[in-house]
């Protein structure tokens, strides 16, 4: 995740830029709404894919290697979902911090919505995981998962 001395100044710069945008016509509010909606879509995708992975683990009870692999992916999904849920509970400033490295936030939101739809199909979980991993990259988050 994001660490280091840059964090405090980065948050302060985000607040200043949002205040300037609000003073210049309200674009900061639109940006905050977009960040929150993107994270809400991402949260839905993580929630759905975690159910699919748990079901896949149940189905592969006799294949220890497959269970272990799926368990690692489920752990990654759970960690990301916790991060996103915390940001949603923390509000717009924390969401802005998490999304600050993303230049194509609208596209990320669309991708997250697509991942949430794909997660309904248990056969598409590898594609969903790869899409979620790509979204991590677009958000500038440190990759935690290997591709599916």
Q: Whose structure tokens read 């940001």?
A: 87
- Give the C-alpha distances (Å, rounded to integers) separating 141 from 8, 70, 145: 17, 21, 11
Crossing angle of the two packed helices 64-90 and 92-99, in degrees rounded to 10: 130
Lowest mean pLDDT among 34-43, 60-69, 75-84, 137-146: 137-146
103-132 per-residue burial string, b: 16 or more CB within 10 A, e: under 16: eebeebbebbbbbbebbeeeebbeebbebb
Whole-number pLDDT of residue 1: 45
CB neighbourhood size of 72 (10 A): 14
- Convert the pLDDT of each residue in 81-125 to its tens digit: 999 999 999 988 888 888 888 888 889 999 999 999 998 888 899
């Amino acid at each position: 995740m994001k660490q280091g001395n840059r964090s405090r100044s980065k948050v302060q710069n985000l607040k200043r830029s949002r205040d300037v945008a609000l003073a210049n016509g309200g674009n900061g509010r639109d940006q905050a709404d977009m960040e929150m909606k993107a994270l809400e879509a991402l949260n839905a995708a993580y929630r759905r894919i975690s159910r699919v992975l748990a079901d896949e683990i149940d189905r592969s009870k006799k294949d220890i290697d497959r269970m272990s692999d799926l368990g690692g992916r489920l752990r990654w999904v759970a960690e990301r979902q916790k991060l996103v849920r915390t940001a949603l509970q923390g509000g717009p400033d924390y969401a802005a911090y998490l999304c600050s490295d993303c230049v194509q936030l609208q596209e990320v939101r669309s991708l997250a919505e697509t991942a949430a739809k794909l997660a309904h199909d248990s056969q598409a979980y590898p594609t969903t995981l790869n899409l979620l991993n790509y979204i991590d990259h677009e958000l500038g988050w440190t990759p935690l998962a290997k591709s599916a």
